Structure formats: C-alpha cells, structure tokens
Amino acid sequence: MTSPARRPVSSLIPDIWEIFDASWPFGTRHPMHIEDYVEKNAYVVRAELPGLDPAKDISVSATDGTLTITAQREETKQEQQRSEFRYGSFSRTVSLPVGADTEKISAKYEKGILEVRVPLAAPPEERKIQIDVQPE
C-alpha cells in the first residue's frame, strides 16, 4: 500500500495533515510532552526534548511551589524545506506536591528525555487533637 503524496509547504492550499496536527478546541496539544509521578519519596517529571543541547537550550527552575521547564529550538532554514518540527521557545509549569524540597532538585538529560527529580519530605504523621470540654 502506498501513502498519499504530500504537497510542498509552499502550496496555496493547506496540507490536510496540518489540520490534524493543529490544536483542538477541547484542550491543547503542547510541543513539550511530559509525564509525572511519585516514586520512592521523590516527585519525578520527565519531558520529551529530543535534539536539544541541555547546556544551552533547556532550563529548569522552581519557585513558589511550581517547577518550570523551558526549552528553545532554533530553526535552520533550508531551500526546498519541509518541516513538521516545532521551533521557538516553549515551557511547561507543574505544581509541586506538598513537602517538595526545592533546594535538592536534580535533573539529567539522556537520549532526548529530561528527567527532573524533586525530593519529598516524609508526610507528617497524623496527630490526635485533644478537645477540651467546657462545663455548661
């Protein structure tokens, strides 16, 4: 089976596949895909950022109970180019869970995946509160 031929980008009529790649009215499709979970007293956020140099294209910051990942992808123009890559600056911000230790956050980048680990303090134990009953 052959796939349909795709027109060059310079065509006056938009490529039908671009319609499916665009944002939908019910939610957004973000250029940075992430996943997050809690594992062994750490909150972990993983972001797909292939083809970027983590030393110059990616930054991670934490402030006021949030974690922000920012990335920048520069476009290199080629003659007769067709590109479905997303270029420019984009970021994702997630709320940190209670007990997040922002002083000990670590991040690593491997095979196009950025992994940020935020240590979590042990949750406080439940404390029973004595109720004083006043005589009537």
Whether 73 has a pLDDT exceeding 50, the answer reads yes
Q: In Å, what is the CA distance from 52 to each residue of 9, 89, 105, 114, 136? A: 24, 12, 21, 10, 72
In which band, very low, low, confident or very high, does the pLDDT at 7 lie, cut at 50, 70 and 90?
Answer: very low
For 74-123, what is each residue's pLDDT tens digit?
Answer: 877 777 777 777 778 889 999 999 889 999 999 999 999 999 999 998 77
Residue 49 belongs to some domain of the structure? yes
Residue 126 belongs to some domain of the structure? no
CA atoms within 13 A on the CB side of 1: 2
Segments forming the whole domain that contains residue 40? 30-76+84-119
Residue 129 belongs to some domain of the structure? no
Total domains in the chain come to 1
The pair of structure tokens assigned to 128 is: 């029973």
**Which is more confidently placed, 12 or 110?**
110
Tell me how far the alpha carbon of residue 59 is from its chain's centroid.
Answer: 12
Residue 18 belongs to some domain of the structure? no
Q: What is the pTM of this model?
A: 0.67
Residue 133 belongs to some domain of the structure? no
Residue 10 belongs to some domain of the structure? no
